[in-house]
Amino acid sequence: MISVQGGDSVDYTISITNKCNLRCSYCYERHLNTEYGCITPEIMKKITDFVNGRGDAGTVYLFGGEPLLYKDEVMFFCENLRAKQIVITTNGTLLDEEFIKWCIDRKVIINMSHDGSECDERGADRELLDANLKLLLKYQPETLVQLVYTKSNLSKLYDNIMYLKGLGVKKVSAAMDAFLVPDDPDSFGDLLREQWEKIAGIQDLFVYELALKKKNIKENKKSSCELCRKKLFINWDGKFYPCIQFQNIPEYRCGDLTVGIEAEKARKAHPDYSMMSERCEGCEIADYCRNSCACRKMATTGTVRNISEAACLEEQVQILTALELLTKEKGG
């Protein structure tokens, strides 16, 4: 990795492959139902020239599927890309000590997914995940562990986070299954609230969602989502999309390695990209809500015009929990 200094930066997500060795019930790749493939040496070289030529890379995420199915390709990008930082997002099954050390030497960050004590919904061997996570924590103690919770294990969300803490995790991100549809929204909301209240009380643990909400509330920062301005998804076949959820949807394609980023064309074609959904009209906490995010709208409803009820409830609960934390920090 060669670093880039200063200026407005763009975050790039490079998909190494959409293949994976797990089968998570909530996997967006499986729901996208697209052709499976992986990056080629020719595309790798072109992506590297493209990103380095622009000279604006902030964080580059090396993503999948499971990117470590193609470790050599991941290592190529780590060695040759010019970026402020490089982050590999892995399910952890293929990690080994030699590779972790190699990344640490080059200041490449590894984020690992792990859902806690039960991994049945992923088809994963929990003992293997636990062992590899402990190994990763040994070299990278601040590893961000990404957990997904579903309808069936929401009642154990707090327990699963505590399970990860018990393995030595200091930083966690807990995201809801994007496809979740509650049977009874009221009791679902109550359960969400109960779990997030308990999570907020955990000592010595960084919880990404709450930290971000607190920051946005404190800074009075409205969340905004702008097509092809601050981030770009580069697919393993060299085609560009605004974000992960749009991969392989032709109408959202915004360029490729030959024509470059066609941002203006894409913005004109999709004026509704960052609109709030109808359900949000008059919502008092809309400024703190991230549900104008096109990727999230697409993930939860399959359109950029609406957000799911479950995602709305999750936002309400997290904003309320963050506000309570801020009040407590201020002493009442």
Q: Is 178 in the site for ligand SF4 (CB under 6 A)?
A: no
DSSP 8-state assignment for residue 226: -
**Dist. CA 277–CA 180, nearest whole Å:** 18
170-193 as b/e: b if 16+ CB within 10 A:
ebbbbbbbbbbebeeeeebbebbb
Closest CB to ligand SF4 among residues 62, 289: 289
C-alpha R_g of the chain: 20
Q: How many residues bind ligand SF4 (CB under 6 A)?
A: 23
CB of 65 to ligand SF4, least distance (A): 5
Q: Is 16 in the site for ligand SF4 (CB under 6 A)?
A: no
**Dist. CA 21–CA 70, nearest whole Å:** 12
**Dist. CA 174–CA 147, nearest whole Å:** 5
Give the H/E segment covering residue 231: strand 231-234
Are the C-beta atoms of residues 192 and 177 closer than 8 Å to each other? no
Number of neighbouring beta carbons within 10 Å of residue 89? 19
Interaction pattern, residues 307-326, with ligand SF4; x per rule: CB under 6 A:
x----x--xx----------
Closest CB to ligand SF4 among residues 83, 310: 310
Closest CB to ligand SF4 among residues 143, 291: 291
DSSP three-state, residue 12: strand
Q: Is 221 in the site for ligand SF4 (CB under 6 A)?
A: no
**Dist. CA 191–CA 184, nearest whole Å:** 11
Specify burial of residue 293 (Cβ count, 10 A radius: 0-12, 13-18, 19+): buried
Interaction pattern, residues 81-110, with ligand SF4; x per rule: CB under 6 A:
----------x-------------------
Phi, psi of 255 (to 5 degrees): 115, -175
CB of 261 to ligand SF4, least distance (A): 25
Interface with ligand SF4 in residues 45-74 (CB under 6 A)? 64-66
Interface with ligand SF4 in residues 271-290 (CB under 6 A)? 279-280, 283, 285-286, 289
Q: Is 20 in the site for ligand SF4 (CB under 6 A)?
A: yes
Q: Is 245 in the site for ligand SF4 (CB under 6 A)?
A: no
CB of 83 to ligand SF4, least distance (A): 22
CB of 234 to ligand SF4, least distance (A): 17
Cis before residue 65, ω within 30 degrees of 0? yes
Q: Is 261 in the site for ligand SF4 (CB under 6 A)?
A: no
**Applying CB under 6 A, which residues contact ligand SF4?**
20, 22-24, 27, 29, 64-66, 91, 113, 122, 279-280, 283, 285-286, 289, 291, 307, 312, 315-316
